[in-house]
Amino acid sequence: MQNSVTIKEAQKKVDDWINNHGVRYFNELTNMALLSEEVGEVARIISRQYGEQSFKEKEKNIKLADELADVLFVIICLANQTGVDLTAAFEKNIKKKTSRDNSRHKKNKKLQLGIVKK
């Protein structure tokens, strides 16, 4: 059985890691640049694994899970240093999407074309 971590616990783990292993949080602008860089690495993997591009020899051991975790780490850093409670923000966002998009996607003909009926 895998350990599960709540978002609140993840925010605490990142903060603990920064305080115990780092010197301090990078400033917000640096972390935004790092986030862009990490998202680019995810895009590179997706384009090669699921798209039409192929991996270069040196890229074959790069794992999507590792790169997604890097993105999550930087997002948590940004949340921590700007005082965002990601649990509360996520719950609020889900409520907003549920209210706003309750049936919108089900009515989207473009999405329906991709549905395989059994």
Q: What is the pLDDT of residues 65-101, one digit of tens each?
A: 999 999 999 999 999 999 999 999 999 999 999 998 8
CATH number of the domain bearing residue 67:
1.10.287.1080
Q: Is residue 3 pLDDT above 90, yes or no? A: no
Residue 117 belongs to a domain: no
Number of domains present in the structure of the chain: 1
Evaluate whether residue 114 is within a structural domain: no
Q: Is residue 18 part of a domain?
A: yes
109 in a domain, yes or no? Answer: no
Structural domain of 38: 7-87
High-pLDDT (> 70) share of the chain, %: 95
pTM of the model: 0.84
Query: Is 14 within a domain?
Result: yes
Q: What is the share, in percent, of the chain residues with pLDDT greater than 90? A: 69
Residue 2 in domain: no
Give the separation between CA 102 and CA 56, rounded to whole angstroms: 42
Q: Which residue has the tokens 């473009």?
A: 110
Is residue 20 situated within a structural domain?
yes
Are the C-beta atoms of 7 and 72 separated by less than 8 Å? no
